[in-house]
Amino acid sequence: MSTTQWPLWEVFIRSKQGLNHKHVGSLRAPDATLALENARDVYTRRSEGISIWVVESANIHATDIDDADSFFEPSDTKIYRHPTFYEVPDGVKHM
Amino acid sequence: MTQAEQERRFLDKIDREIKIEPNDWMPDEYRQTLIRQISQHAHSEIVGMLPEGNWITRAPNLRRKAVLLAKVQDEAGHGLYLYSATETLGADREQLMDDMHSGKAKYSSIFNYPALTWADIGTIGWLVDGAAIMNQVALCRTSYGPYARAMVKICKEESFHQRQGYESLMKLCNGTPQQKAMAQDAMNRFWWPALMMFGPSDAESTHSDQSIKWKIKRFTNDELRQSFVDATVSQAEILGLTIPDPNLKWNEERGHYDFSEINWEEFWQVVKGNGPCNKERIAARLKAKQEGLWVREAANAFAKKRAMKKSA
Ligand SMILES: [Fe+2]
Ligand SMILES: [Fe+2]
């Protein structure tokens, strides 16, 4: 007795002022208004949030897991982007 | 990448305790095992609301009523986190529910026992949620990311479930002789079914070996059952309740409590659908689905109408 399902939404919650919204999970709802209300009931029953974003899962674009190695390669090889790459004499302070 | 290479990569991640995430390559059997286990877990959360839900209107006072309501609402949330986790594996939520309704998929057999008295509600919180927590804490380290994250959230919420049950039993055990007797009666009926919640013994368990290798399960059924018995004995003593097992005693050599063999005949009967409440539970789930259908359809229609107004 299956029925047409409501669309899937991804839920992001800002736990407190000063922090980013963070992905916490997903849920199904017929529209954004109800997705927000359901997200409140499902993911913030113990004051876990002060702000919620919902995004239809179909609208999320992601990097391809199979290409991850080559996709992220440019940053893995540039060790000179990190402060530890550089040598500074022992006596130098505040750097 | 060849299949063999992918498989080697997958096993290497498991070895190094790196979580498997939804889009990662995984063996089909790993995926199917997870869908079966997580959905069974989700169904248990949902069906578990039925025996307790029955008592919400009959709670002895407003405090207990508010607490029970909050607990049952949590269980609905747990079911939802878990159904969401199955969807990340490509499962169809509606199909999973239909599989439970048809008897193809199982849920924890503990919920096929009735909650006859108010003491049963305290006992369910203490023993049934207690046994579930033992299992769920171990699953926080399961190898599949979304399942592990759902478990972490669930465990945070579960601890109040066990404590409220224990507190409620404490009240009864310190009450009139009749109240104490009611608590002991609940203990007598729930002790063995609670031990059965950990599933068949390791020798009989069909899926255990591979699940341990893939780190879906981190401990065997018998290991978890033993931890539960060891943790519960002193809790029962403090309540002044007797565990209904004449063979229960501390084994100095093993460093664990010994206990009697479980009545596996009863266990398999309940799993096969012949427990006291199997039919009633499935009937209640089906009724909820059928009678809630118009609400879901109306919400869809309303969403469509609102979208049209916006674009007009
Ligand atoms: Fe739960
Ligand atoms: Fe619970």
Establish if A3 belongs to a structural domain: no
Q: How many CB atoms lie within 10 A of CB B270?
A: 21
Strand partners, A22: A13
Q: Which residues in chain A touch residue B70, judged by CB atoms under 8 angstroms apart?
A: 45
The confidence score (pLDDT) of residue A1 equals 41
Q: What percent of chain B has pLDDT over 90?
A: 92
The confidence score (pLDDT) of residue A2 equals 44
Q: What is the pLDDT averaged over residues B156-164?
A: 94
- Number of domains present in the structure of chain A: 1
Q: Which residues in chain A touch residue B94, judged by CB atoms under 8 angstroms apart?
A: 2-3, 5
Widest CA span in chain B: 78
Q: What is the pLDDT averaged over residues A18-28?
A: 96
Q: What is the ipTM of this complex?
A: 0.87
- Ligand with the closest atom to the CA of B68: 2
B172-201: buried (b, 16+ CB within 10 Å) or exposed (e) per residue? bbeeeeebbebbbebbebbbbbbbbbbbbb
Q: By the 8 A CB rule, do B53 and B232 touch?
A: no
Establish if A86 belongs to a structural domain: no
Establish if A39 belongs to a structural domain: yes
Establish if A41 belongs to a structural domain: yes
Q: By the 8 A CB rule, do B72 and B56 touch?
A: yes
Q: Say whether residue B73 is in contact with chain A using an 8 A CB cutoff.
A: yes
Q: What is the pLDDT averaged over residues B37-49?
A: 97
CB nearest to B98's CB, from A1, A31, A65: A1
Establish if A90 belongs to a structural domain: no
pLDDT tens, residue by residue, B120-152:
999 999 999 999 999 999 999 999 999 999 999
Q: How far apart are CA B286 and CA B292, in angstroms?
A: 10
Q: Are A65 and B23 an interchain contact pair (Cβ–Cβ within 8 Å)?
A: yes
CA distance B96 to chain A (A): 10
Q: Which residues in chain B touch residue A44, judged by CB atoms under 8 angstroms apart?
A: none
Q: How far apart are CA A73 and CA A58, in angstroms?
A: 28
pLDDT tens, residue by residue, B189-202:
999 999 999 999 99
Establish if A1 belongs to a structural domain: no
pLDDT tens, residue by residue, B3-23:
999 999 999 999 999 999 999
Q: Are B98 and A2 an interchain contact pair (Cβ–Cβ within 8 Å)?
A: yes
Is residue B257 within a helix (H) or strand (E), and if so which, with residue range? strand B256-258
CATH classification at residue A69: 3.10.20.520
Q: What is the pLDDT averaged over residues B55-80?
A: 97
User: What residue numbers bound the domain in which A39 lies?
Assistant: 8-81
Q: How far apart are CA A47 and CA B214, in angstroms?
A: 35
Q: By the 8 A CB rule, do B44 and B111 touch?
A: yes
Distance B78 CA to ligand 1 centre (A): 5
* pTM reported for the whole predicted model: 0.92
Q: Is the per-residue pLDDT at B246 higher than 90?
A: yes
Q: Are B81 and A25 an interchain contact pair (Cβ–Cβ within 8 Å)?
A: yes
Establish if A92 belongs to a structural domain: no
**pLDDT-based confidence at residue A4 (cuts at 50, 70, 90):** low
Establish if A95 belongs to a structural domain: no
